[in-house]
A = this chain, B = another copy of it.
Amino acid sequence: MLKVPDHQVAGHQAGDGKLGPLIDDSGHFYKPLQNDGRGSHELAFYTSFSADTRIPDHIRKFFPVFYGTRHLEASDGSGLYPHLALEDTVSSRINPSVLDAKIGSRTWYPQAAEDYIIKCLKKDRETTSLELGFRISGLQVYGNKETGFWKPDKKCVLNFSIEDTRLALRKFVSSNPSTGSDIKPDCSFASTVYGGPAGILAQLLELKSWFEEQTIFHFYSCSVLMVYEKESILQGRNSGAEIKLVDFAHVIEGKGVIDHNFLGGLCSLIKLISDIVTSSA
C-alpha cells in the first residue's frame, strides 16, 4: 500500500495532486524520476555508485541502498510513473527528529547552463550557503506527546541566518526545541546524539576523511540527512543517530580532483556541531 511519507522535511512533497515521493511497508522510499534530466541523472549516479568497487563499505553505509527503478502509480494521479526504489532510513523510526543540510557554498557545477547558474548563485547568496558553506533545507524535532514536532515551514527555514542555523542545530538536540527566543535550547541530547563514538559528529568526521581523498564524484546540491530518535534515548536505548547523503541529481565526475566545495561545507557543519558538543559537555 503506497502512501506519502510522514517525516519528509525537504524537497518536493506528494499530496494535493503533486508529484512526490511515496513509501510502502517494505522499507522502500520511492522517489519519482524528475522529467527535466535530473531524474535520469540521479538514476545514473545510483547505478554507477552501486557498481563502483572503489567505495569502501564504511562509506557506502552513508548512502541509501538502491533497489533499482519501479513503475508505480504516481502521487499526482497521472498514472504509472518511474520511481527510484531506495532504502527508507526514516519511516521505520518512531517520532524521528530529522535535519536536512544541503552541503556546499556553491550548489551549481561549472558546466551547468548559464540560467541555472544564475538561479543557484542567487539562492546561495540569499541563504547561508555562500557564507556558511551549507544551508538547512528543512528539519523536524520531536518534543513530546503534547507538543509533537517542531517543524518550521520551508520559507522560514530558507530565511535562516547564520545565527538561526546555529540555533537550529542546538534545538535539534534539545528537549525544548519549540520554545520561544527567550528560552535557550537546553542541548540535553547533544552528547548522546552529536557526541560519542557512534554519534553524528563521529560519522561526519568519517565522511570527511573520505572526502579528503576521493576524486571520483563531486556532489553538488547534495544533502546530509541527520536522524535520531529521542524517545529511544529517554528509554535508555541507543539514540539511533545516523547520517545519510541524499539527492544526487547534480553529481558530476571528479576527474582526479577532490570535491573541495562539499568538503569545505562539511568542515563548516562539523565545526558548528563540534562547538555545540564542546559547550554542552
Chain A interfacial positions (CB closer than 8 Å to B): 105-106, 110, 125, 130-133, 162, 166, 212-213, 215, 255-258, 260-261, 263-265, 267-268, 270-271
**Bound form: Cα–Cα A215–B265 in Å:** 14
B261 pairs with A257, CB closer than 8 A:
no
Shortest Cβ distance from A134 into B: residue: B260
Given A260-B105, A264-B260, A264-B261, does the pair A255, B130 have CB atoms closer than 8 Å? no
> Please, which residues of chain B bring their CB within 8 A of the CB of A215?
271
Given A105-B106, A271-B213, does the pair A162, B255 have CB atoms closer than 8 Å? yes
The 10 closest A-B pairs by CB, nearest first: A264-B264, A260-B264, A133-B260, A260-B268, A258-B271, A258-B268, A263-B264, A110-B130, A110-B131, A263-B267
Give the residue of B125, B213, B260 whose beta carbon is less than 8 angstroms from that of A110.
B125
Shortest Cβ distance from A125 into B: residue: B110
> A136 → chain B, closest Cβ, in Å?
14
> Please, which residues of chain B bring their CB within 8 A of the CB of A268?
257-258, 260
**Bound form: Cα–Cα A132–B166 in Å:** 29
> Please, which residues of chain B bring their CB within 8 A of the CB of A106?
105-106
19 A-B pairs with C-beta separation under 8 A: A105-B261, A106-B106, A131-B257, A132-B257, A132-B260, A133-B257, A133-B261, A162-B255, A162-B257, A166-B256, A257-B268, A258-B267, A258-B268, A260-B265, A260-B267, A263-B263, A263-B264, A264-B265, A264-B267
Q: Name the residue among A125, A133, A162, A267 with the largest chain B CB count within 10 angstroms.
A: A267
Shortest Cβ distance from A262 into B: residue: B264
